[in-house]
Amino acid sequence: MRRRRFAKILATLGPASSSPERIRALFEAGVDVFRINMSHTSHALLKTLHGRIREVEAELGRPIGILIDLQGPKLRIGDFADGAVDLAAGARFALDTTRKAGDVHRVYLPHPPVFRAVEPGHRILLDDGRIRLKVVEAVPKRIDCEVEVGGRLSNKKGVSLPDTVLPFGAMTDKDRSDLEAALNLDIDWVALSFVQRPEDLAEARKMVRGRAYVMAKIEKPSAVERLAEIIEMADGLMVARGDLGVEMPLEAVPGVQKQITRACRRAGRPVVVATQMLESMIAAPVPTRAEVSDVATAVFEGADAIMLSAESAVGKYPVEAVATMSRIAEKVEADPNYPNIIHAQRTDPEPTGPDAISSAAREVAATLNLPAIVCYTSSGATGLRAARERPNRPIVALTPSTATARRLALVWGLHCVLTEDARDETDMVDRACRIAYQEGFARPGQRIIITAGVPFGTPGATNMLRIAFVGGESLSGV
């Protein structure tokens, strides 16, 4: 099950893709990590999907990552007496704390903190940005607005506040319950929605206690403004372009995507590009040319992973969408311009032994034209460092930890293999050569480069680089 690409693929499970047969087909088509959206998933269904993924993992003998996506705080207006109203540009419209059914002049907003946070001049977006209001006056129980962009507004539409930092965290009671249920199942990644500031990650990290990696979804302008601090607090980031495109001008999103991707690459944090990548494949067996270019751009930027949402969850062609995305990534990575673009964005290694070893491994592999880099990684830190270098050779990550192998399934270029820690240096070389051969990365007579830490089994202690020949005694157990 070796992938022929560096970029990884996430696919969202849903009604179109939840059967055991479909999950297996999706993995075989190219999925590396499955996303479960807790906005539409009960705890019982979560347990069922988790079990089905782990069955496929056991059958195929490859680590598969599971990411749960928490819903986060959803802001919605109340109901209208007639079910909907038509708002005219230039008209006045209010959001208030009165539970009475709304009309063309006002509607109930059941979120008291919003009234304390908004200020005159702030924008309020309704129904995914289709309706735009400008705050004229805000008091504790009423927000008076002018309608800048009107239209038809119906019951319980969503509310976005791009100019307002809300005085509550990114986790709701539902999120806490969902997260605890997921952690009890040993999921690998948890994605936190509507992160506004680095402090929003603190509660999730406290609950997780190292049992999973925490991913911050960047979908608010306030998060972009504090990007460096959020990267420092998170284990990975997701460019959630759907909500970003609602809360900031659409034309700004591509630039922000590049900003986030490059910042994560510099920091060595995995980054996922998500939302509407192959949207037309919800209903069509082939994507548009623009969608192909969109996927290609993310791959050229060196994003760790690209994600399918509705395409795999509810679309008519989920397996075809994954296969298409995989082919696009493979083609991009074979393009003559790809190595130069990736190299141009490479960051100097940190002044640490493990970073220096990872950087040297990339250079040696390129200079000697070696077929693979093999790294021993217990906690996953060495695997992340190796991927940060974006070498033009596959990285075989050997780990004794099932949890580490599953988490690293999302990371650029890593082919994870479960194996025992090396007993000594001879075993380290023999094991690395044998696995590189068995997994199809090297042939007898070729050389590979190996990184490891001494003493063996010590997390984060990478301090050794070794070039070894594949063949002879190292393959005696094959």
Residues with catalytic roles: 35, 76, 217, 275
Q: Considering just the CA atoms, what is the radius of gyration of the chain in Å? A: 24
DSSP string across 125-146: EETTTTEEEEEEEEETTEEEEE
How many whole angstroms from its chain centre is CA 467? Answer: 34
E strand spans, 235-359:
236-240, 271-274, 305-308
> How far, CA to CA in Å, does 362 sit from each of 386, 387, 390, 413, 435?
8, 10, 8, 12, 19
Question: How many Å apart are CA 396 and CA 241, to the nearest integer?
Answer: 31
- Which single residue is written with the structure tokens 């979804």? 217
Contact criterion met (CB below 8 Å) for 175 and 74:
no
Contact criterion met (CB below 8 Å) for 253 and 275:
no
CB crowding 115-136: b at 16 or more within 10 Å, else e: bebbeeebbbbbbebebbbebe
User: Which amino acid appears at position 160 of this protein?
Assistant: S
Supply φ then ψ for residue 383, to 5 degrees: -60, -40
- Which single residue is written with the structure tokens 């393009």? 335
Q: Which two tokens stand for residue 397?
A: 């990550």
Question: How many Å apart are CA 106 and CA 103, to the nearest integer?
Answer: 6
Three-state DSSP state, 404:
helix
E strand spans, 91-219:
92-96, 106-108, 123-126, 131-139, 142-149, 151-154, 159-160, 189-192, 213-218
Contact criterion met (CB below 8 Å) for 242 and 271:
no
Question: How many Å apart are CA 207 and CA 231, to the nearest integer?
Answer: 19
- Burial of 469: CB neighbours in 10 Å, binned 0-12, 13-18, 19+: middle
E strand spans, 321-385:
373-376
Cα angle value 157/160/161 (rounded, 5°): 145
Question: How many Å apart are CA 391 and CA 386, to the nearest integer?
Answer: 8
